[in-house]
Structure 1
Amino acid sequence: MSYDYLSCPSCGEKVRSYSNPFPTVDVLIELPEGIVLIKRRNEPFGWALPGGFVDYGESLEAAAVRECEEETALKVTQMKLLGCYSDPARDTRFHAISTVYVVKCSGTPKAGDDAAEFGVFQLDNLPSPICFDHEKILSDYRERREAGTIW
């Protein structure tokens, strides 16, 4: 394995440069009418679960609540871990690891932050294209919901 090195700006000493995956969260919002997806304002374009990067010093749960509110204006009332998704190819921009939560919310959804628009969809009538590995996440959610193991 080869490593890249940076030079220390103070002393010029070589320091190994590390590439680590980026921690992210996604929220699968359950409403009585269906699942909330957002249409992304930024690349990659398409439909996705609301979500984003975990800020330094922020817990995964707090990041999920924040991203849900920023992108949909909904307030999380219940949260359950669905799973973690770490395939290095799940995001074409870089290696991102997502912790995914299923949430129930209150309020009226509206698009905000990175969301150009939002939609509420039944699992058997999803829009296209769906970004990242969110089709896999939605498939896993469907299996767990049908098995009665979500809540």
Structure 2
Amino acid sequence: MGQLWRYIKTVMGIIFRHPITGATIIPILPDGRIVLIRRQDTGKWGLPGGIVDWGEDLLTTIPRELKEETGLELVKICRLVGVYSSPNRDPRIHSISVLVEAEVTGIMAAIDKLEVLEVEAFSRDQLPLGNLSHDHDRQLRDYLQGLTVLA
């Protein structure tokens, strides 16, 4: 599988030669806990989110990805936390991610079982920082420090 992914990544790089755009969400439950997903591909915790589909805007991508990965509904987008564009931020491909804080509601469930192993809510002092997927450690730290980042 690893070799196939390297091949696909190379072909995508040749065809597109531009980063892929995506959204990452910091879902905040009414009680203040932050929702994370455990990823199927790495087994690591991370923030929900995904690629903006062709013909979609971010305001469509965010609630769709939130629902697919956590089962939760978007109440409102609270703020733009940052835009992360480092070529190494996602080990799979060069992607640019727009990070937003969002109020959410509903019942947590891993709807997309191909991508998500489990969904869990953490209080701020219980977040599993230090070994999150992608660059989500940095994204969460920036958020917790109240920063707005262009990186």
Structure 1 and Structure 2 fold alike (TM over 0.5)? yes
Please give the alpha-carbon distance, in whole angstroms, between the structure 1 residues aligned to 2:99 and 2:32.
21
User: Could you tell me the TM-score, scaled by structure 1's length?
Assistant: 0.79
Looking at structure 1, the residues matched to 23 and 15 of structure 2 have their Cα atoms a distance apart, in angstroms, of 25
Where does 1:32-111 land on structure 2 (aligned, <5 Å)?
32-42=31-41, 44-79=42-77, 80-111=79-110
Q: Distance in 2 between matches of 1:139 and 1:64?
A: 21
Segments of 4+ in structure 1 off by > 6 A?
none
Q: Structure 1 residues 18 and 68 mapped into 2: Cα distance closer, same or farther (>3 Å)?
A: closer
Gaps of at least 5 residues in structure 2 are 1-13
- Residues paired across the two proteins, number: 129
- Give the AA of the match of 1:134: H
The residue matched to 1:116 in structure 2 has which SS?
strand
Letter in 2 for 1:23: T
Q: Residue 78 of structure 1 contacts residue 104 of structure 1 at CA under 8 Å; is this kept in 2?
A: yes
More helix by share: 2
Instruction: Show the 5 A alignment for 1:14-29.
Output: 18-29=16-27
Q: Percent identity among equivalent residues?
A: 36
RMSD over aligned Cα, in angstroms? Answer: 1.7
What is the SS of the residue equivalent to 1:124? helix
Q: TM-score, normalised by structure 2?
A: 0.79
